[in-house]
Amino acid sequence: MIDFSGRSAIVTGGARGIGAAVAAALVREKIGVVIADLLEHEGAAVAESLGPEAMFRRLDVTDESGWQRVIADAEAQFGPLAVLVNNAGIVDFGSVETESPALFRHVVDVDLYGGWLGMHLSAPRLRAAGGGVIVNVSSIAGLAGYAGIAGYVAAKWGLRGLTKAAAVELGAAGIRVCSVHPGPIHTPMTAGMSEAVAAAQPLPRFGEPEEVAAMVRFIVTEATFSTGSEFVLDGGATAGQWLALPEAS
């Protein structure tokens, strides 16, 4: 188990949902966490609830100078950077035919380019500190195609591929890079989704943010021989085609 106490972490999209749960899990590991988000009120409240080992910084993940400030603040407050969790994301609603070019580009900018920019700027700091971990929060939409969210699917597949490229490039520097692929999770993003979405899964329920956070904590502190790997939390949704078979007589 790796001890990153005395070092810092950045969690994007950390003001609520999965990001807030991840921030709490890392603070429990004695890692100083910067909660980076556009939601200032919510982010500041999460940081306050977690105590002196957390702070909030406003961040647009597509803004290079914003990233530079957040990284500098993390290291100044909590020590050398150890962990980056690229969790910030938005979802679109539109098919390949109907989605506007502007919306497609915006989703890809936030969900893919924002993750790349964080990795691009954090990797030198992780290298200088002797290693660390990057966790990219993709989705089961990065493992399969889904209708009606074309930009989101494209971005999450891209983030999955970017994870593997970075793992190959950065492994020799002691930097591990993995992706996490949640299925339906109870978050503000899924608040309007029917629970029936999960009814056909082997585990017929939505997951909880804390379950994703537990996986991220495992990747950061215990999965020390894993890089370029995909960690799936989807109640079995992507395990196969689930049919109701007759009971054996």
Q: Give the active site residues.
A: 152
CB 172 within 8 A of CB 126: no
Angle at 1 between CA 4 and CA 238, to 5 degrees: 100
Q: How many CB atoms lie within 10 A of CB 241?
A: 5
Which one-letter DSSP state was computed for residue 149?
B
CA distance 17 to 25: 13
Residue 168's φ and ψ, nearest 5 degrees, are -65, -40
Which one-letter DSSP state was computed for residue 184?
S
Measured between its terminal Cα atoms, the distance across the chain in Å is 48
CA distance 33 to 205: 30
Which one-letter DSSP state was computed for residue 171?
G
CA distance 97 to 102: 13
